[in-house]
Structure 1
């Protein structure tokens, strides 16, 4: 499941994923919110938190995540990824050179710092 987080500045698309994340989660929650931010701002920041009960992405969800990022590649300004899931941390490190946005990893214990960083 993906949860929209609303206690961020207007130019930040903020989400928390929990449990199993599906393509339907992207279609119902992430895509509409992210596209609305992209419609109303030239540059958008992203806060993406992976909850401790995260169990994985469906293949369709991973594809949707990739598509949203690539289709608007030059429009992302800052990306904060908050997770203790090692394979996600490794993937962010591996692919971050492809993303023109400043991308930073935070552990779950650093969530407050991540919020401050992405908002500054």
Structure 2
């Protein structure tokens, strides 16, 4: 997804259970974003049916975070998390300090606002 006339914004949609295979499939996209040399702005939409990590999901998430994201911390400018799940909101507030760049939470009904914020 892109917001016209603004910085490029990458969109990520998460639903069901996130497995290690899902994260491994996403890693080339993240590597491509990092290789672009541009500021990274992300809108992550966590759907109502998201249930958390499935097999291998947590391990691959930690590998991606520690091995990729933290080594390029300055590349991340804004991350908007969009969800209506209370436990996701609480988790993001708890571990948000680990997320590189600015972080903001939005409800599912605020997707357009999240896109605009991430692009700003």
1:34 to 20, 30, 33: 30
4+ residue runs over 6 A deviation: none
Q: Deviations over 1:77-108 (max 9, x none)?
A: 11100011122211111112233410000011
Corresponding pairs, count: 113
State how far apart, in whole Å, the 2-side matches of 1:98 and 1:24 are: 23
TM-score, normalised via structure 2 length: 0.81
Larger radius of gyration: 2
Q: Secondary structure at the match of 1:105?
A: strand
Q: Secondary structure at the match of 1:72?
A: helix
TM-score, normalised via structure 1 length: 0.81
- Displacement of 1:11: 4.2
Q: Deviations over 1:15-42 (max 9, x none)?
A: 10111211111111x2111111011124
What's the counterpart of residue 8 of structure 1?
2
1:63 to 59, 69, 75: 59
* Contact 2:41/2:77, CA 8 A, preserved across alignment: yes
Structure 2: runs of 5+ lacking an equivalent: none
Structure 1: runs of 5+ lacking an equivalent: 1-6
What's the counterpart of residue 85 of structure 1?
85
- Does the alignment pair 1:50 with 2:46? yes
Q: Secondary structure at the match of 1:46?
A: strand
Higher relative contact order (CA 8 A, sep 6+): 2
Cα distance 1:47–1:65, how it changes in 2: closer, same or farther (>3 A)?
Answer: farther
